[in-house]
């Protein structure tokens, strides 16, 4: 939809009126090219900006991006957008262990079964180069 000022400008040029309010030359049309609205500049606002009067709103359902944007096109969120929460996933070594069911020395792909490797605490105690592949 065109802004009212653009429509009025278009009508004034496309349908110039005579003194008796009859359009002169109604077949003459002009394209109305309205300038785009200026880009939203948040300035120092770090919350919800009311574009029409450049008022930075906080509180009373203006505190989140969703609340601000729900207010309509006259509002722009200028606050920080929270990063999505990433839940760390447990490391799965099944593909590393292969057929080893005790303690795997990763660098040499060797399944260690002897003393000092036969329990999870002993295996994991050997350092980052070892993975326990046995039962938890």
Q: Is residue 89 one of the residues assigned to a domain?
A: no
DSSP 8-state symbol, 24: S
**Beta partners for 48?**
57, 77
Higher per-residue confidence, 80 vs 22: 80
How many residues does the structure list for the chain? 136
Higher per-residue confidence, 27 vs 129: 129
Q: Is residue 88 one of the residues assigned to a domain?
A: no
Q: What are phi and psi of 92, to 5 degrees?
A: -110, 125
Residue 14 has pLDDT above 60, yes or no: no
Mean pLDDT of 97-110: 89
Longest Cα–Cα distance of the chain, Å, equals 110
Do residues 30 and 45 share a domain? Answer: no
Q: Which domain holds residue 104?
A: 94-132
* Number of domains comprising the chain: 3
Provide CB contacts within 8 A for 90, sequence distance 6+. Answer: none
Distance CA 120, CA 92 (A): 15
DSSP 8-state symbol, 75: E
Do residues 60 and 70 share a domain? Answer: yes
DSSP 8-state symbol, 12: H
Q: Which pTM value belongs to this model?
A: 0.35
Higher per-residue confidence, 118 vs 21: 118
Of 106, 107, 125, the residue nearest 115 (C-alpha): 125
Of 28, 34, 26, the residue nearest 1 (C-alpha): 34
pLDDT digits (tens, 9 = 90+) for 22-72: 555 555 545 556 676 666 678 889 899 999 998 998 888 788 888 888 889
Mean pLDDT of 79-104: 72
């Amino acid at each position: 939809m065109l802004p009212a000022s653009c429509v009025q400008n278009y009508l004034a040029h496309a349908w110039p009126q005579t003194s008796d309010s009859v359009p002169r030359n109604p077949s003459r049309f002009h394209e109305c090219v309205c300038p785009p609205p200026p880009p939203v500049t948040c300035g120092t606002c770090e919350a919800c900006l009311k574009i029409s009067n450049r008022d930075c709103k906080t509180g009373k359902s203006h505190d989140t991006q969703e609340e601000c944007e729900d207010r309509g096109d006259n509002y722009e969120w200028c606050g920080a957008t929270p990063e999505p929460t990433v839940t760390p996933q447990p490391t799965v070594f099944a593909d590393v262990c292969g057929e080893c069911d005790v303690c795997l020395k990763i660098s040499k792909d060797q399944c260690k079964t002897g003393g000092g490797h036969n329990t999870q605490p002993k295996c994991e105690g050997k350092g980052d180069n070892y993975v326990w592949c046995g039962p938890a």
